[in-house]
Amino acid sequence: MSSHHDYILDITAQHDALKPFAPENGQPLRFTIGDAVIFTNEFGAQFRCRVTGLYRPSGLSGLYARGARYLLDSSSPWMPVSESSLRLAGSA
């Protein structure tokens, strides 16, 4: 990759070809606005949060292409997270 822009174009093309994430793959999103969830970050720390919105970028987005779909009431409410990093707060 020669630039960040090239990287975004590449992962967006991969996403568009493979459609690995909901809802593009025909599956429904697992969580809805208002759901109480536990978010596990990349270091394994867990936080109780609530889904406050769905991330729907208007243009190319590397975050979206990598599966980020949910906005949370966290210390970074603007940063979307992926479904794989969430579970319902009441589940084990």
Q: What DSSP designation does 29 have?
A: P
Rg (the chain; Cα; Å):
14
Whole-model pTM? 0.86
pLDDT tens-place string over residues 6-15: 888 888 888 8
Structure tokens at 80: 């979307």
Answer whether 25's CB lies under 8 Å from 38's CB: no
pLDDT tens-place string over residues 30-45: 999 999 999 999 999 9
Domains defined for the chain, CATH in brackets = 4-88 (2.30.30)
